[in-house]
Structures are given as structure tokens and as C-alpha cells.
Amino acid sequence: MRQIFLDTETTGLSPEGGDRLIEIGCLEMVNRRMTGNNLHLYVNPERSSSEEALKVHGITDEFLADKPRFADVAEQLLAYVADAEIIIHNAAFDVGFLDAELRRARRDAFRAHVAKVTDSLLMAREMFPGKSNSLDALCRRLEVDNSNRTLHGALLDAGLLAEVYIRLTRGQDSLVIEAGGASSAHGASGTEPLLSLNTFTLHVVAVSDEERSAHEAVLIDLDKASGGKTVWRRVA
């Protein structure tokens, strides 16, 4: 399964009011492993950022002056996201800007080019109702290090979103980047033989009362986080 974490930066908050994209950051994950096949684009918006937006992303007009216009990178972006699941935090905002840019480039709406769009903000609201579910809040709650996020940046925020998504979906605790392509049935170099587990003596360690209590506390937290949707109590 190919998934892409996407984030944008813009000149302001309103595509209907003429605000434009200035940065697009995308990270690719295949079968829950980050591939390193990422896409990072700066775009000349042909207008200035609002003062408020500039305080958020810090990307100046001077920096963007020699960057390509969206129409010049539209094909590259659409080829990259084609047929993938796109995961965005507050998807309505980013997709709204992408659709506005695609209309100017006389292309179909963003969702027409991808398999689906998943909004991680809606996922978080369902999992943590009544709590702040901004990306920063989720980083704190899920223990994702966002100490480098002094300013917003599309690629940085897409990376934080990927870490948050992994924790939200409970598939694993951290991201793994493939260093040398697809994994092999042999060792990392493809030449080392597999070890037989029959050569090891496995020691069974009894669980202490303290460890059992800590495990039970984790199960209770998971049950609360899922809104009571866990099944192990019923199975037991």
C-alpha cells in the first residue's frame, strides 16, 4: 500500500480570496515503511504572503522570486501522488488550495488523481474527543519530538505527521526508512545465511505483579483512546 503524507504552506488562509501555495512537502510510505522517495517543491505565488502567514512559515518573497510557478510543477506533483492514499492534517485546507491551483492550471481536482484522501485531524478528533488535536498537540500527546519546529515548513510538518499517524494507527512505534531497497530473505547484503532459532535456548521470565499492573494500565489507556472500540475484553 502506497501512502503519501502531504503538507503545504501558503500566502494566507483563503484560496477564494486569492491566496496561493508557496511550498509543498510529500513523504512516501509503502507498507508502513518510509522509502525516502520524497517530493519537496517551492512555488512562486506571484503575490506576497500576508504578515501573519510570514510569521508562521518565514518564507520571504525574495526567496520565492526565482522559484517555478505552480503550473510548471503541476505534472510533477500529480505524477508523484497518482493513485496513492494521501494523508493530510486538516485536509480541507490543503486540498482547497491544491484544487484552486489545479483549476488555474486547467487540471482536474486533486481527488481525481489519487486513490483517496485521509484527514488525520478527523482521525484524531474521533480518538481524542474534546481535546486539542493540532499537529503540535498530537506531537506532545504521542511523544513525537517536534523541538525543531520553530517555524512551519511543509516537509518538516509532513515528517511529523507521518510519525503521528504511525502512533495514531498503533502499527509500530517509529518509522523505518529502507536503506537499500526492498528487504531480502537473506541478510542486509543478500549473502548472509538465515540463522535457525533452534540453536537458541529461550528463557521464560515470569511476569511480576508490578509489570502486570503496568500492562493493565496500558490496556486501559488504549481502550480509552479508541473510544471503547478495543475487543480484547470481549474476547477474554
Other Cβ atoms within 10 Å of 1 Cβ, number: 9
For residue 51, what is the enclosing H or E element?
helix 51-57
Q: Which residues are catalytic?
A: 152
The cell numbers describing 230, all together, are 478495543
Spatial CB neighbours of 184, under 8 Å, sequence gap ≥ 6: 190
Q: How many residues does the chain have?
A: 236
Strand partners, 41: 24
147-155, long-range: CB within 8 Å, 24+ apart, which pairs? 151/56, 151/57, 151/58, 152/9, 152/56, 152/57, 153/9, 153/23, 153/25, 153/57, 154/7, 154/8, 154/9, 154/23, 154/24, 154/25, 154/40, 155/7, 155/23, 155/25, 155/27, 155/38, 155/40
Q: Which residues contact 26 (CB under 8 A, 6 or more apart)?
A: 4, 5, 6, 38, 39, 40, 80, 81, 158
CA atoms of 188 and 191, how far apart (whole Å) = 8
